[in-house]
Structure 1
Amino acid sequence: MIRYTAYGLMGLLIMAGVFATKTAYGQEWYPGENVQQGLYMKYQVSHFDYKRGAPFEVTLWFGSQDDRKNWITDVTVVEKGQVVTGKFTLSSITLTPVGFPSDELQPYQAPIKDSIMWIGGYASKINQKSLTGSKVWGVIAAIGGGSITVAPVGTEMVQAAGKSWDTYVIGWHYGEDSKIWVADNFPLPISGKAFALTTQKPIPVQFEFRLLETGMSDTAPKPPVSKVEIPTPPLTTTTTSAIFKVDLYWEPVSIEPGKPTKFGVVVFDQQGNLVDNVRYLFKIVDAKGSILIDDQFLTEGGQGTHEVTFSEAGGADVTVTVLRELPGVAEPIREEADFEIVVVPEFPLGLAIVMASLIGIMIVATRFKKLNIPRL
């Protein structure tokens, strides 16, 4: 399976240590600069290797330090209304996670580390780097040979967290320009957008983040109350290696147990053209883990429709696996697109909201006009 882990173990070799000599000129910076007890930072983060870039918000609060001066950090993640809390131990040298997080945060450690903390692979408290001039911070070794230099490329004023920031841009180029915006005397970058290491366009975004809030607090910011967000069609995502884009439709918009739901699958190529006569697998797993459908189909005009009846309310997972045929390759490459849907209870939605509020969960639904599922 091909994955864009270009900034992880499979697709990227970080060799920042080659340029470990401290610069003799220019404004120097490192992750963790000016970090203080009580500081909090809230970011929006997305990473291609986490649910094909599904966004989430993460808040970090620097509460205390251990005997090695590492920061014990309270972490709150909000994704689609669901709230997860726990702790990271962040290195005092690179401000990246050390050890293992609490179980609830395990799925989020890699996308957080490999986005807002990614630059910790190039600069550190003992290897500070210049924000100005042309001194190279390090290189990225790309698959297929060659190397890509990471270095200061200029300055730029950006808007984030309700204010203007004078930032220094750290960038590199491979197919597209990737940039990370750093503010002097701030512990982590303000924002960043990095593209996958491929030249086949359109090039997907590997990771993206931006600062939403920051400030000082004597106590960790209070986590919001979890809420169940009910998705509405169409949902769109890319497949495993961004070769295809898949849209998922369904009607009626409100999926209820015991009532047939008609799903529509639409497959596009990278240029946005419908992909005709391509085989794909369509699978749905309900809230209890039961498989409701798991069969192979063929698109006609880039589309396919399926009717499914749910017996249980709750979350359900939909997986569309496009079977990509390559000349000379016996087995097709499986390109997966994953979706999360919600089956609402049979009683009226208004009553569901009242009952949910009694147990501290809010169900949020947005009214949409009726959508017509593409027909074969």
Structure 2
Amino acid sequence: MQMNRKKTVNKITVFFLITMLGVSALQVNQLIGMAFAQSENWYVGKGVKPDTHYTYEIKNADTNQGQPFTMTIYFKEYNETGKYWVAPTFVVDQGKVINGTLYLSDLDLTALGTSPIPPEMTQYRSAYATTLTWLSAFVSKPGQSLSSPSWGKIAAIGGSEIRPSGSAKVTTPAGTFDTTAISYHKGVDNHIYVNKDMPYPVKAETFADVTSGKPPIQYAFELKATGIGQPPIPASQVQIPVPPLNIQTPRGTYNVQLLWEPVEIKAGNDTQFGAIFTDDKNNIVDRVTYGYKVMDGNRTVIDEFKNQRATEGIGQFTYKFDTQGEKYLQITLETATGENLGMFVESATFLLLVQ
């Protein structure tokens, strides 16, 4: 009787131990699975380290008519109290250097409104938000899996799904990187390339949403350089624009090419300008009327002229600048192929240097 009782107790003990081991193994497997899932997650800001810097070339349709500029971000230190990175940042745009300090949120590297930057850097902070950190709307900390079937939908009418679409080896001036392409389709394919160990995407090319014609680039960027330590801020260098200059209008419908002679624009002397108008397929647009504004370096209008004719797509005019310095010349299409453009503003603004 005593022996049978011992056998029963032993069986219960063995069963209990097996059950506990099974539960423990399940918990371990769950923990391993969670750890693996966490390791393959990515978010804007993952892998950032103090005393490192990144330089990008950026094109953004809403900044300087889509003309390229470079931005260098130095992650100096982490502010534990405010939960943000202190990041001295400088922009080089057509030789002009603008610098300030961005406070970048620990959650998704969003530039905080308290960042101490000069007014002239505001447009570049906006460009930063809509390019390098655009994905933060989908992958703030702790992020999403790089093998997930979907990251959500883009915020647009009929917005498509944005998702990892496969691996890609991407080469930029900073090197060659193993990446995952994050893609969505809206008229055309848009791709953003993410390396799992880097805080920002390595490269991107996305396009504006248009109802017809060839969509223009909404934004594009690529990593130019990365390194350890604070990079030196370069001195501003005067870059003298030379013809021809080409700018696409904001909707991507037309291109405006500006030429002038003499190439060296002198205050007090006449300068002969030519404007060539083409469509998104680079075909000459005939029966164009246009206007142009001359502005100073602060974009204050000095002169304005309307109803200029470019019957065969080529307009010509003469202008004399009274003073030296940076000037802006904005050319706006009023009609094209004889039709009024209505509510759409199709313009291109060119930076000139008068000597």
Structure 1-normalised TM-score?
Answer: 0.79
Report the counterpart of residue 322 of structure 1 in structure 2.
Answer: 333
Structure 1 portions without partners, runs of 5+: 1-21, 345-376
Q: CA deviation at 1:138?
A: 1.2
Report the counterpart of residue 154 of structure 1 in structure 2.
Answer: 166
Report the counterpart of residue 85 of structure 1 in structure 2.
Answer: 99
Structure 2 portions without partners, runs of 5+: 1-34
Report the counterpart of residue 41 of structure 1 in structure 2.
Answer: 54
23 and 119 in structure 1: CA distance in 2 versus 1, 3 angstrom threshold: farther
1:313 and 1:327 mapped to 2: Cα distance? 37
32 and 182 in structure 1: CA distance in 2 versus 1, 3 angstrom threshold: same
1:317 and 1:245 mapped to 2: Cα distance? 17
Q: CA deviation at 1:274?
A: 1.4
Aligned 8 A contact 1:44 1:209 in 2: yes
1:252 and 1:203 mapped to 2: Cα distance? 35
Structure 2 residue corresponding to 1:313, chosen from 324, 337, 346? 324
Structure 1 residue corresponding to 2:206, chosen from 178, 190, 194? 194
* Partner amino acid, structure 2, of 1:291: I
Report the counterpart of residue 192 of structure 2 in structure 1.
Answer: 180
Report the counterpart of residue 214 of structure 1 in structure 2.
Answer: 226
CA deviations on 1:254-285 (whole Å, 9 max, x unpaired) are 11112110000111122222121122111212
295 and 221 in structure 1: CA distance in 2 versus 1, 3 angstrom threshold: same
The 5 A counterparts of 1:1-376 are 27-66=40-79, 67-101=81-115, 102-103=117-118, 104-126=120-142, 128-132=143-147, 134-143=148-157, 146-217=158-229, 220-287=230-297, 289=300, 291-324=302-335, 331=342, 333-344=344-355
Q: CA deviation at 1:142?
A: 2.7
RMSD: 2.3
- Identity over aligned residues, as a percent? 32
174 and 84 in structure 1: CA distance in 2 versus 1, 3 angstrom threshold: same
Q: CA deviation at 1:125?
A: 1.2
Report the counterpart of residue 4 of structure 2 in structure 1.
Answer: none
Q: CA deviation at 1:325?
A: 7.0
SS in structure 1 at match of 2:82: coil
- Bigger mean CA deviation after superposition, 93-102 or 290-299: 290-299
333 and 165 in structure 1: CA distance in 2 versus 1, 3 angstrom threshold: closer
Aligned 8 A contact 2:287 2:338 in 1: no
290 and 205 in structure 1: CA distance in 2 versus 1, 3 angstrom threshold: closer
2:221 and 2:267 mapped to 1: Cα distance? 38
- Bigger mean CA deviation after superposition, 99-108 or 262-271: 99-108
Report the counterpart of residue 15 of structure 2 in structure 1.
Answer: none
CA deviations on 1:299-335 (whole Å, 9 max, x unpaired) are 1210111111112111111000112479998955331
Report the counterpart of residue 12 of structure 2 in structure 1.
Answer: none
SS in structure 2 at match of 1:281: strand
1:298 and 1:328 mapped to 2: Cα distance? 13
* Partner amino acid, structure 2, of 1:32: G
How many residues in Structure 1 have an aligned counterpart in Structure 2?
A: 317
Q: CA deviation at 1:186?
A: 1.1
82 and 47 in structure 1: CA distance in 2 versus 1, 3 angstrom threshold: same
Report the counterpart of residue 20 of structure 2 in structure 1.
Answer: none
Q: Structure 1 or 2: larger helix share?
A: 2
